[in-house]
Amino acid sequence: MSGYEDPGGSNPDPLMAFVSRWWWILVVGVVLGACIAVAYATYGPDAYTSTSLIQIQAQTGDDPTAKAEQARSATANYAAEASSTRIYALVDDATSGEFSVNELSRMDRNGKIVIQAMRNANFITIKVTDSDPVRARSLANTISTVVVDDINERAKIELDLRNTQLGEQIEFARQQLASAELFRREEQLDVQVRDQRSHLLSLQASYQQELARQADVTTQSEEQNSLHSAYLEVVTSQIADVEDTVESLNKKLEEVRLAISTLPTGSDAVLSGAYATAYSQELTALTRQYVSQQLATVTTKPPLVRYGDASAPIRAQNLKKLGLLGIAAGGTVAAGIAYALELIMKRRARKETAQSRFGSDVDLDRLIHRLNQFGIGQSSNPTADASLIRHSSAAADHGGGGS
């Protein structure tokens, strides 16, 4: 070590000089790192990975690719939902506590459970890594089953809820339309009753006028008497018909008013009559939508479906990947050791250079300590002090250039 020479002056590239001196340490570190990685992959604890696939189905009965883009856009949302605490709680229940929520969350954070959406595809991958291959595959199958069942069940509930809400809207529109029809029917019957009564009064007036006219006539032929009698019979028959019509209309009007009395409090005849057309159009639109939704329910597919069972477990340790990591780690550690040795040898070289300038018997550390203790300015020989300072500065400059 005492023969160390700083080649900084002869080689202007410090990195190349460093590598040329310590290449053997770097080689040893890389080889040891690679050997440790291979030994770990061969004799270390085994980890197995199993992958399960979930397909998001396009909701179409004609062309399977018609709404594929829509299914792909929903895949990310389903993947985020699959890695939620709710799903882990359902997995906990499905496995009877074998996998608790905390354990599943910890595996998720550690990368032992990876749930993500495939890029440019309507698939979700569920990858589980565990030391037990049977356990890894079982958990992957359980998670995919729970995700599919839960989301499909909630989708069915939402569909039923939409049907129920649509049915309620149709019933409300029907009731409003019926109310409007009742008020409008009441108004029509009232007008008809008034018209028939006016007609009845007119017939009765004609009948009375005819009787008065006949009373004023003293003599008339038998033919005139016959015509007069026929006319009175016709008028009498018309009066009877109109009276029957008025009675029938009054009965219908009473029935309508009785039905109106059963309507909810606050029903407005004016508004109901004004909105009758709107309620009719709304009822038609809602009925069409309800029929369309009922027909779609027949061909609707579940949003998610398991794409087969989980894959056969494979070893998670990749020899190539571990080898590269071992080489990188070994090279890094070897470079650190070489750099530490480099600093130690440079420090010793600076100390030996300083001692050679002051003499082989001079202890540089003790001399510096004494100078700091008494102070250079207290020396009685200024010339010697200046010479000592020059020698110390030259040694420091030589040591800095070597570094």
For residues 220 and 95, which has the higher predicted lDDT (pLDDT)? 95
Torsion of CA 63, 67, 69, 72, to 10 degrees: -100
* C-alpha torsion sign, points 90, 95, 100, 103: negative
| Residue 294 pLDDT > 70 | yes
Confidence band for 211, pLDDT divided at 50, 70 and 90 = confident
**pLDDT of 400 strictly over 60:** no
8 Å CB contact between 172 and 289: no
> H-helix or E-strand containing 15?
helix 14-43
**How many whole angstroms separate alpha carbon 137 and alpha carbon 148?**
17
pTM value? 0.55
Q: Which range, of 183-192, 200-209, 256-265, averages the lowest pLDDT?
A: 256-265
Which pLDDT belongs to residue 256?
Answer: 83
Average pLDDT over residues 211-224: 68
Calculate the CA dihedral of residues 158, 159, 165, 170 and round it to 10 degrees.
170
Contact of 123 with 55, CB cutoff 8 Å: yes
| Average pLDDT for 29-37 | 85
Lowest-confidence segment of 90-94, 157-161, 223-227 by average pLDDT: 223-227
With vertex at residue 182, the alpha carbon angle to CA 179 and CA 186, rounded to the nearest 5 degrees, is 145
For position 64, what pLDDT does the model report?
52
Residue 379 has pLDDT above 70, yes or no: no
pLDDT for 183 beyond 70:
yes
SS (H, E, C) 248-303: HHHHHHHHHHHHHHCCCCCCCHHHHHHCHHHHHHHHHHHHHHHHHHHHHHHHCCCC
Q: What is the pLDDT of residue 209?
A: 82
What is residue 399's predicted lDDT score, i.e. its pLDDT?
Answer: 46
Calculate the average pLDDT of the chain.
78
pLDDT band at 226 (very low <50, low <70, confident <90, very high): confident
Q: Which residues of 205-221 are buried (b: 16+ CB within 10 A; e: fewer)?
A: eebeeeeeeeeeeeeee
Structure tokens, 112: 């032992």
Under the banding of pLDDT at 50, 70 and 90, the label for residue 384 is very low
Longest dimension (CA), the chain: 182
The helix/strand/coil state of 315 is: strand
Higher pLDDT pick, 10 / 115: 115
Percent of the chain clearing pLDDT 90 (strictly above): 14
pLDDT digits (tens, 9 = 90+) for 38-75: 777 666 566 789 999 998 887 665 555 555 667 777 88
